[in-house]
């Protein structure tokens, strides 16, 4: 079983529930069933169970035997893998390491995650996206933990935002190919869901030794700026805080946003003093060339000049507080309820053996609110489960591969399952429910090409 397949199976599936608790989107431009939150975190939740005919069908005393040998072995196996993942996450979150963090603090600056922690509402959760991006890549260049950029969803003054922050603790402090792709992915989520976006910029531009990997193509660096323009045209608020160096290609992004904040000691220019001197022989300081004072008093590029990170983050919160009210959500939402059965039982149900059978309804029952799952065409095409439920109070549609062998002929069942899937997706999109990411097993991968 891969680490990716277990990223979402954290204790009590807290990441899953926090993801759906954040789903109070302002409004949506994408078709209503296309709500794909960090798929790297949710995609293989092969374990969210429910049963139709709810209480009559699921008896916590008899349906799952927590003392069974297989249940205990499965639980121990999952916990060991989760521990490995959590330990790796802690290392990734250290960025460039303790020395790099200390160096950042000596400059009077915070790290990317420290900035985010001070920016978001107290006692709220930052739902990070793509934490394992560029995992164990670029080691010959000092590495790029989490692709050198922190992205995720969080609430500021009660409103949901997409946050994109450069990690200045990595060794090169420059932009790699995976960094660019991660930013584009975050922007696409913001565009599809009309999420206001905040950029915390602290980057020295493209990593020149690998610049051949970065081109202004559809999914490359130039797409970032195109997305800036699209978001502006759609009326999606964008705020940028320059909290360090903002050089070369990275300097285009801030000036395409609605508001620009800049801290003292930061720089915003296409070419630094050394390159200017080499090109035209002029000697100039970084402050004269593109410092916060120059851009505030002479070029007029910067809207707010702030003395330090703390003041800048406080200003962002003040601006957010005065934004207009978001549009009401288009999806049905009620008070969230806990499942009837302990979520941690998923560890024992989800088999460590890919060939082992289990009932996917047992997984769904430990995920959805109140363990209530309205199964669609329950007796037809039994290799696939479709239905409606609530997660975190939000009405959702669910499509899941059934891990239990059915008696009917497999080819005929798959044909029926495809028909169910198509009709279910159509109904979900028509009735204003987001589609819960497909739950699939390793032995029965979902095939949605048709």
* Pair (348, 268) in one structural domain: no
**Of 212-226, 367-381, 418-432, minimum mean pLDDT range:** 418-432
Strand positions, DSSP E, 87-217: 127-129, 149-156, 159-166, 197-203
Task: Specify the pLDDT at position 380.
Answer: 83
Cβ proximity of 151 and 128 under 8 Å = yes
Dist. CA 52–CA 73, nearest whole Å: 28
Please report which confidence band the pLDDT of residue 215 belongs to, taking 50, 70 and 90 as the band edges. Answer: low
Helices 112-119 and 309-321: crossing angle in degrees, nearest 10, is 40
Whether residue 64 is found in the same domain as residue 156: no
Residues 166 and 283 in one domain: yes
The answer to whether residues 166 and 243 belong to one domain is yes
**pLDDT single digits (tens) 193-208:** 999 999 999 876 666 5
Euclidean distance between CA atoms 189 and 197, whole angstroms: 10
Within a domain: 162 = yes
Q: Are residues 273 and 208 part of one domain?
A: yes
Strand-pair category, 374-375 with 384-391: antiparallel
Task: Let me know if residue 324 belongs to a domain.
Answer: no
Supply the pLDDT for residue 238. 96
What pLDDT was estimated at residue 62?
42
Q: Do 135 and 78 belong to one domain?
A: no
Enclosing domain of residue 50: 4-87+332-439
Those residues with Cβ within 8 angstroms of residue 325's Cβ, 6 or more apart along the chain or in another chain: none
Shared domain check, 388 and 245 = no
Higher pLDDT among residues 400 and 435, named by residue: 400
CA 273 to chain centre: 37
Q: What is the pLDDT of residue 18?
A: 44
pLDDT of 148: 83
Q: Is the pLDDT of residue 45 over 60?
A: no
Q: What is the mean pLDDT of residues 357-380?
A: 90
Q: Are 167 and 297 found together in one domain?
A: yes
CB 154 within 8 A of CB 125: yes
Q: Give the domain-ending residue among 290, 307, 324.
A: 307
- Which residues, in sequence order, are CB contacts of 380 under 8 Å at separation 6+? 416, 420
Predicted pLDDT of residue 36: 36
Residue 208 and residue 118 share a domain: yes
Q: State mean pLDDT over 95-123.
A: 92
Domain count across the chain: 2
Residues 6+ apart with CB under 8 A from 283: 273, 277
User: Which stretch, 160-164, 174-178, 357-361, 404-408, has highest mean pLDDT?
Assistant: 160-164
For residue 130, give the nearest of 42, 53, 68, 58 by alpha carbon. 42
Do 40 and 127 lie in one domain? The reply is no
> Does the pLDDT at position 431 exceed 80?
no
pLDDT band at 325 (very low <50, low <70, confident <90, very high): confident
Same domain for 20 and 77?
A: yes
Instruction: Determine the pLDDT at residue 318.
Output: 96
Dist. CA 319–CA 303, nearest whole Å = 12
Residues 276 and 152 in one domain: yes
In a domain, 70, yes or no: yes
Q: What pLDDT, on a 0 to 100 scale, did the predictor assign at position 16?
A: 43
> Could you tell me the pTM of the whole model?
0.76
Question: CA–CA separation, 221 vs 219, rounded Å?
Answer: 7
Is residue 327 in a domain? no
């Amino acid at each position: 079983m891969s680490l990716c397949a277990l990223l979402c199976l954290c204790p009590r599936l807290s990441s899953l529930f926090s993801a759906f608790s954040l789903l109070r989107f302002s409004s949506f431009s994408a078709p209503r069933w296309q709500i794909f939150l960090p798929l790297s975190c949710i995609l293989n939740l092969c374990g969210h169970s429910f049963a139709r005919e709810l209480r009559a069908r699921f008896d916590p005393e008899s349906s799952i035997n927590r003392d069974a040998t297989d249940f205990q072995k499965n639980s121990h196996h999952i916990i060991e893998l989760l521990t490995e993942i959590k330990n790796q996450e802690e290392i990734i979150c250290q960025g460039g390491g303790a020395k790099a963090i200390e160096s950042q603090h000596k400059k009077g600056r915070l790290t990317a995650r420290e900035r985010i922690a001070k920016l978001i509402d107290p006692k709220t959760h930052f739902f990070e996206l793509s934490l394992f991006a560029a995992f164990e890549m670029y080691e010959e260049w000092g590495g790029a933990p989490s692709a050198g950029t922190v992205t995720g969803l969080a609430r500021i003054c009660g409103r949901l935002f997409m946050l994109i922050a450069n990690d200045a603790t990595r060794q090169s402090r420059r932009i790699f190919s995976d960094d660019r792709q991660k930013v584009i992915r975050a922007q696409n989520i913001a565009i599809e869901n009309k999420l206001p976006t905040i950029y915390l910029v602290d980057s020295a531009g493209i990593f020149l030794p690998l610049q051949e990997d970065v081109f202004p193509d559809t999914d490359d660096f130039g797409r970032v700026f195109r997305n800036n323009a699209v978001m502006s045209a759609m009326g999606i608020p964008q705020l940028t805080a320059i909290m360090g160096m903002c050089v070369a290609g990275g300097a285009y992004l801030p000036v395409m946003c609605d508001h620009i904040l800049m801290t003292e000691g930061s720089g915003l220019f296409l070419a630094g003093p050394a390159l200017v001197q080499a090109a035209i022989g002029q000697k100039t300081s970084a402050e004269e060339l593109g410092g916060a004072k120059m851009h505030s008093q002479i070029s007029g590029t910067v809207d707010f000049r702030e003395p330090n990170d703390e003041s800048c983050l406080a200003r962002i919160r003040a601006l957010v507080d005065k934004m207009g009210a978001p549009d009401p959500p288009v999806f049905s939402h009620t008070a969230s309820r806990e499942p009837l059965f302990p979520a941690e039982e998923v560890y024992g149900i989800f088999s460590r053996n890919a060939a082992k059978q289990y009932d996917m309804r047992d997984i769904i029952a430990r995920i959805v609110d109140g363990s209530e799952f309205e199964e669609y065409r329950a007796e037809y095409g039994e290799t696939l489960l479709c239905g409606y439920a609530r997660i975190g109070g939000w009405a959702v549609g669910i499509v899941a591969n059934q891990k239990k062998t059915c008696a009917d002929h497999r080819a005929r069942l798959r044909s029926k399952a495809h028909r169910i899937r198509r009709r279910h997706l159509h109904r979900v999109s028509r009735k204003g429910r987001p589609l819960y990411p497909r739950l699939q097993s390793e032995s029965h991968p979902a095939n949605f090409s048709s």
